[in-house]
Amino acid sequence: MVNGGARAVARCDELGVAPYSDAPDMLFRAFLTPAHAASLERIAQWMGEAGMHVELDGAANLIGRYEGLEADARALLIGSHIDSVRDAGRYDGPLGITLGIECVASLHAAGRRLPFAIEVIAFGDEEGSRFPASMFCSRAIAGTLDAGALDVADRDGILLDEARATFAPSPPLGGEGRGEGAVLETSTRSISGGFPLSQPSPPKGGEGFLAAAKRAGSAIAFLEAHIEQGPLLEAEGLALGLVTGIAAQLRFQVMIEGRAGHAGTNAMHLRRDALAGAAEAVLAVERIAREGGGDLVATVGRMAVGPGAVNVVPGRVDFSIDVRSGDEAARNEAAEKILDEIADLSDRRGLDFNIERVQDLPASPCDPKLMDLLGEAIAETGHPVRRLVSGAGHDAMVMSALCPTAMLFIRCKDGISHNPAESVTGEDADAALKAMRSFIDKLGESYGD
Return the one option of Mn ion, ligand HGY, none that residue 93 interacts with (CB less than 5 to 8 A, by type). Answer: Mn ion
- 92 touching Mn ion, by CB under 5 A: yes
Of 51, 58, 89, 93, which one interacts with Mn ion (CB under 5 A)? 93
Stretch that binds Mn ion, among 89-97, 178-186, 371-379, 438-446 (CB under 5 A): 89-97
In the region spanning residues 83 to 142, those forming contacts with ligand HGY, defined by CB under 6 A, are 126-127
Q: Give the residue with the Cβ less far from Mn ion, 96 or 202.
A: 96
Measured from the CB of residue 418, what is the shortest distance to Mn ion in angstroms? 6
Alpha carbon dihedral 360, 363, 364, 368, in 10-degree steps, equals: -170
Per the CB < 8 A criterion, the answer to whether 187 and 211 are in contact is yes
Strands 297-299 and 316-325, sheet pairing: antiparallel
79 lies in the site for Mn ion, by CB under 5 A: no
Q: Is residue 48 near ligand HGY by the rule CB under 6 A?
A: no
Pairwise CA distance, residues 342 & 353, whole Å = 8
Nearest approach, Cβ of residue 49 and ligand HGY (Å) = 29
Note whether 36 and 30 are within 8 A (CB): yes
Burial, 24: exposed, middle or buried (Cβ in 10 Å; 0-12, 13-18, 19+)? exposed
Calculate Rg over the CA atoms of the chain. 23
Residue closest to 89 by CA, chosen among 40, 37, 29: 29
Q: How far is the CB of 154 from ligand HGY (least distance, A)?
A: 17
Please, are residues 415 and 229 in contact by the beta-carbon 8 Å criterion? yes
Of 179, 180, 163, 184, which Cα lies nearest the Cα of 41? 184
Residue 395 lies near Mn ion (rule: CB under 5 A): no
The CB-of-393 to ligand HGY minimum distance in angstroms stands at 4
Min. distance of Cβ 197 from ligand HGY in angstroms? Answer: 28
Nearer to Mn ion, 160 or 412 (CB): 412
Determine if 57 is a binding residue for ligand HGY (CB under 6 A). no
Residues 6+ apart with CB under 8 A from 448: 115
CA distance 240 to 400: 22
Among positions 230-269, residues that touch ligand HGY (CB under 6 A) are none
Q: Is 273 in the site for ligand HGY (CB under 6 A)?
A: no
Please state, in angstroms and rounded to a whole number, the distance separating the CA atoms of residues 16 and 402: 31
Length of the chain: 449
Q: Which residue is nearest to Mn ion (CB)?
A: 92
Looking only at residues 122 through 181 of this chain, which bind Mn ion when binding is defined by CB under 5 A?
Answer: none
Question: Should residue 393 be labelled a site residue for ligand HGY when binding is judged by CB under 6 A?
Answer: yes
Residue 159 is given by DSSP the state B
On the question of a cis peptide bond just before residue 307, with omega within 30 degrees of 0, the verdict is yes
The residue range among 30-38, 87-95, 169-177, 363-371 that interacts with Mn ion, by the rule CB under 5 A, is 87-95
Binding of ligand HGY at residue 399 (CB under 6 A)?
Answer: no
Least Cβ distance, residue 287 to ligand HGY (angstroms): 22
For residues 219 and 74, the answer to whether their CB atoms sit within 8 Å is yes
Choosing among ligand HGY, Mn ion, none, which partner's interface includes residue 245 (Cβ < 5 to 8 Å by kind)? Answer: none
Q: Does residue 193 touch Mn ion according to CB under 5 A?
A: no
Residues that bind Mn ion (CB under 5 A): 92-93
Chain residues that interact with ligand HGY, rule: CB under 6 A = 126-127, 392-393
